[in-house]
Chains A and B, each alone.
Chain A
Amino acid sequence: MSGLEGEVLGIATLSLKVALTATVAACLLGIPLGFALGLTRFAGRRALLVVLNTALAFPTVVIGLLIYLLLARRGPLGGLGLLFTWQAIVIAEVILAAPIATALSAAAVQAVDPRVRRTALTLGAGTLRTAWTIAREARFALAAAVVVAFGRVLSEVGAALIVGGNVLHETRTLTTAITLATSQGNFSLAVALGLVLLGLALTVNVLIQLFQGRGDV
């Protein structure tokens, strides 16, 4: 393996690690919240939906800047020493992707036939089992929420640059590497990295599709 290949592989691996970690964390936060928003009625729900929909369109560089200020040495969380680490990128991307997972899963469970909930309840299911049954019925739409969240974090560049710093072997992801290669005029490397990024996106989506299809009759 040449040095360049090794470098690309390292960048791709880091990108995947950051994207998967951020997607899992965003979905763990967002999907239960989406369920609560989609299935229950409480005071402030509408206001929360407005905030959520605004968060969907939040500029990534603004999130990057906010996280930078939080994690900077003199910032409130500076003591954690997370700035310019891959974990910092994950934090920023969770903030970007969690609203997507929340909004899309709320929409997904709201679109489920209301009879699903009543049927589960009348067959004796408790709250958690009912939610699980609804999730099963909405699994295609929920998988779409995961895919969109993953797409958002995998393709994200602004926040990753600001809080990651594009440090080789540490925080250089595929997108930040493409930005750098392009600015240096190294277009063949930029295109190669772009193709790797596309390949990754395709592979993960195919895997999710396969997972979705399982268990269907």
Chain B
Amino acid sequence: MATFEVAGLRQVYAGRTVLALDALSVEAGARLAVVGPNGAGKSTLLRLLAFLEPPTAGSIALDGAPVSGRAARRVARGRVTLVEQRPYLFRGTVERNVAYGLKVRGVPAAAARERVNEALRRLRLQELAGRDARALSDGEIQRVAVARALALEPLALLLDEPVSGADRAAQHALLAALAEAQARRPLAIVFASHLLEDAYRWADQLLALHQGVPSPVTPENLFRVDLPGTSPMQRVAVGPLTVEVVTDRGGPATLAIPPEEIVLSTSALQSSARNVIAGRIVRVAEHGAAIRVTLDAGIELVALITRRSFDELGLAIGTTAYASFKSVAVRVF
């Protein structure tokens, strides 16, 4: 049975529709990544799935039962937990914070202590148990918040940008703890991220949002840019690179370079493609019959190519490759 079953969901703030999601199903034990740029509606979706606010329209069923009305949301909040992007830790020690939800649920002190210790151990936070929660680094705060959520053994865990404040080691501890929690029992995890890399590495289901609606574009190679707007053929700064795009727009925008539109080669191609970018291959992942190749060119570019091309070109991690794509292939939002 699906943990979440969403139908016809609409959320409107001050007359503006910030989220419109016709259908979404999250199975028990699934990992759903919600990706998209800032303002895409990711956090709104998480707040709705956390039953913190009622939707303007539509329904959300939790574990097969529709949740509507204040009382039902209150009960559902006891089974679903949200960790915000910048989690709040209450005054007091780390231990006290992790124990909060257990105390709310009336778990006896001895059992609660055991579960708190267990959660702290899984997030490698034992040494911080007695520390003042206000004296932690961002990464530690994030992990304490996840420990506080996991201690409750929820049906679903919602995470908003879970690895944003963490360094590599902390990220690893966090993801390992989540995987471990899922291995023990069915736990649906929904996490919002603007980093597609996280999403692809970690999720088994993907929802790309753009301006509140599911985006038809593969949410890879999305870049926030400032368009000069001088002519239809524009040269746009993307990190350290310059990319040529065709658009009439100017000002802040999102560029999307569809991975299947990128041609990889071992030398710079002489072709009609206006953009040729050299980079080092840093990651290679199977994607069905195709291979997803991530190129570090100052920005990370992902190309989708066939296994045959990959083998014939002799590509491997660490080798240099050239990514070519036409300026008309670059989509502008």
Contacts and interface: CB of A to CB of B under 8 A. Distances in A.
Interface of A: 113, 115-116, 118-126, 129, 133, 136-137, 215-217
B104 A125 contact: yes
Contacts of B74: 126
B140 to A, nearest CB: 15
B91 A216 contact: yes
B90 interface: yes
A82 B84 CA distance: 55
Contacts of B149: 123
A154 B88 CA distance: 38
A150 B22 CA distance: 57
A133 B92 CA distance: 12
A215 B92 CA distance: 8
16 contacts: A113-B88, A115-B87, A116-B88, A116-B90, A119-B87, A119-B88, A119-B90, A122-B80, A122-B82, A123-B104, A124-B77, A124-B78, A124-B105, A137-B91, A216-B91, A217-B131
> Which 9 A-B pairs rank lowest in CB-CB distance, beginning with the nearest?
A115-B88, A123-B101, A217-B132, A124-B78, A122-B82, A119-B88, A124-B104, A125-B104, A122-B50
A215 B52 CA distance: 30
Interface of B: 47, 50, 52, 74, 77-78, 80-82, 84, 86-88, 90-93, 100-101, 104-105, 131-133, 148-149, 152
Contacts of B152: 123-124
Contacts, number: 57
A136 B91 contact: yes
A137 B90 CA distance: 7
A130 to B, nearest CB: 9
Contacts of A121: 52, 77
A121 B84 CA distance: 12
A150 to B, nearest CB: 24
Nearest to A139: B91
A133 B90 CA distance: 8
Contacts of A125: 101, 104
Contacts of B84: 115, 118-119
Contacts of A116: 88, 90
A217 B88 contact: no
B46 to A, nearest CB: 10
Given A115-B84, A217-B132, A122 B91 contact: no
Contacts of A120: 100
B104 A118 contact: no
A129 B104 CA distance: 8
Contacts of B104: 123-126, 129
A122 B90 contact: no
Interface centre among A122, A126, A215 (most CB of B within 10 A): A122
Contacts of B86: 115
A137 B96 CA distance: 14
Nearest to A126: B74
A113 B78 CA distance: 22
B132 A122 contact: no
B82 A217 contact: no
A126 to B, nearest CB: 7
A36 to B, nearest CB: 17
Given A118-B52, A217-B93, A217-B132, A123 B100 contact: yes
A59 B119 CA distance: 57
Contacts of B78: 124
Contacts of B133: 217
B203 to A, nearest CB: 21
A201 to B, nearest CB: 28
Nearest to A115: B88
- Interface centre among A113, A123, A215, by most B CB within 10 Å? A123
Contacts of B92: 215, 217
A116 B92 CA distance: 14
A162 B107 CA distance: 55
Contacts of B148: 123
A23 B72 CA distance: 39
A45 to B, nearest CB: 19
Contacts of A115: 84, 86-88
A124 B100 CA distance: 9
A97 B100 CA distance: 34
A136 B103 CA distance: 15
Contacts of B77: 121-122, 124
Nearest to B105: A124
Contacts of A113: 88
